[in-house]
Amino acid sequence: MFAVYAETFSTDDPLSGLVVGERPDPEVPDGWTTVTVKAAALNHHDLWSLRGVGLKEEALPMILGCDASGIDEDGNEVVVHAVVSDPSWRGDETFDPKRSLLSERYQGTFSDKVAVPRANVVPKPASMSFEEAACLPTAWLTAYRMLFGQGDLKPGDTVLVQGAGGGVASALIILARAGGLRVLATSRDESKRTRALEIGAHEVYESGARLPVKVDAVMETVGRATWSHSIRSLRPGGRVVISGTTSGPKLDDAELTRIFFLQLSVVGSTMGTRAELASLVTLLDATGTRPLIDRTLPMEKARDGFSAMASGDVFGKIVFTR
C-alpha cells in the first residue's frame, strides 16, 4: 500500500530519511481493526521521529503519522485515538508505562490503511470534515488536556500561550477562547501575532516581551527559548503546563528561586485519554469550533508539508489527504 515512512534517522537533516513510497499492508492483531485513512495530520512528533527521537533504530522502516480520520471496517466515519496502551491496562491510558503512540511501536497513519485496537476508534460527527477530524488526536487533544485537565482552567482565568504559530499552540488559543478564558499569546513573528488575534487571542506580544499582567497559567510547548519568560509571567501560585520542548529541553535558567518563592506549579501533560478525545469531539460538534488548518496536501506531497514544518513556516495544522 501507499505509505510515507522513515527509513533512516538524521539529527541535522531529518527529511533525508523520509520516503514516500510503498509498504506492506498492516498486520492486524486480535482485537484490532483497520481504518481506511481519509485524512492524516502532521505533528512535530513526525519530525522528531525522523531525528531518531522516541523511535528505535530496530523499528525502521516505520510509517509515520499519529493522527487519522477515516472509515472503519463497518463503514463508520471515525477518528483514531493515537495512544496505544497495554490490553491489560485500566484507567487513564496516558499513565500506562507501556503505552506508545502510533508510529513508535506500531505503524503510523500516513498510509492507505492503519491498524489500531478496536477501543481506539471514536465516532466522527457528520458536522466535521475528515480533514478537521484528523487534527484532533494529537495536537488538539494535547491542548484540551493541558487547558482543562492538567491546567484546571476555568472561564475567566487568564492564560498565556507561547509560540502562537504551532499546531498545539493554535489549538490552545482557539480552545481557550471557546472555554471562556482570557487569552494572551506570544510569537516571534508579527504576521503570526496578527493571525493569533484573528483566531481568538485577546492580546499578543513578541516572544519574551514583558506582559502588563501576571497570568494564572502558561501553556508551554517551546521549552528553552521561552521557559524563563513563562515562569516570570505567572502570578503567585500560578501554574505552567508543559507538553513539549521544540527549541530544546536544556534550560539556561530553570528559575528555581522564583518557582519556590512564588509557590508556582510545573505540570507535565501528554496527549489525552480516549474519553477526553470523545469529549473534545463533542465540544467541537456542539460549538462549531474547528481546528485551524494551515494547508491541505495530497499525501503524495507529504515532503512539502514536512519541509514547511521544519522551517517553521506554518500557522495551524498541515493535513494530508488520501
Q: Which residues bind ligand NAP (CB under 6 A)?
A: 43-45, 48, 138-139, 142, 163-169, 187-189, 192, 207, 221-222, 225-226, 243-247, 270-271, 309, 312, 314
- Amino acid of residue 269: S
Q: Least distance to ligand NAP from the beta carbon of 171, Å?
A: 8
Which residue, chain included where needed, has cell 527529511?
15
- The minimum distance between CB 212 and ligand NAP, in angstroms, equals 20
Q: Provide, rounded to whole angstroms, the least separation between the CB of residue 21 and ligand NAP.
A: 24
Q: What is the DSSP letter of 21?
A: E
Looking at beta carbons only, is 26 or 241 nearer to ligand NAP? 241
Which amino acid, 216?
A: D
The smaller minimum CB distance to ligand NAP, of residues 26 and 163, is found at 163
Instruction: Give Dmax (Cα) for the chain.
Output: 57
Pick 107 or 230: Cβ nearer ligand NAP: 230
Please provide residue 291's backbone torsions phi and psi, each rounded to the nearest 5 degrees: -60, 150
Q: Assign residue 19 a region (left: φ > 0; alpha: ψ between -120 and 50; beta: otherwise).
A: beta
Angle at 45 between CA 31 and CA 309, to 5 degrees: 135
Secondary structure (3-state) at 56: coil
The CA distance from 172 to 259, in Å, is 24
Shortest distance (Å) from residue 5 CB to ligand NAP: 19
The closest alpha carbon to 269, from 174, 158, 138, 162, belongs to: 138
CB nearer to ligand NAP: pick between 207 and 321: 207
73 secondary structure, DSSP code: T
Least Cβ distance, residue 205 to ligand NAP (angstroms): 11
Cα of first residue to Cα of last residue in the chain, in angstroms, is 12
Between residues 11 and 30, which has the closer beta carbon with respect to ligand NAP?
A: 11
Least distance between ligand NAP and beta carbon 315 (Å): 7
CB nearer ligand NAP, residue 72 or residue 276: 276
Asked if residue 61 has a cis previous peptide bond (ω within 30° of 0), the answer is yes
Q: Which residue is nearest to ligand NAP (CB)?
A: 244
CB 161 within 8 A of CB 202: no
Residues in the chain: 322
Pairing of strands 215-220, 158-161: parallel
The CB-of-207 to ligand NAP minimum distance in angstroms stands at 5
Taking the least distance from each CB to ligand NAP, the nearer of 63 and 168 is 168
Which cell is 140 given?
Answer: 488538539
Q: Which CB, 107 or 170, lies closer to ligand NAP? A: 170
Work out how close the CB of 215 gets to ligand NAP at its nearest, in angstroms, rounded to a whole number.
17
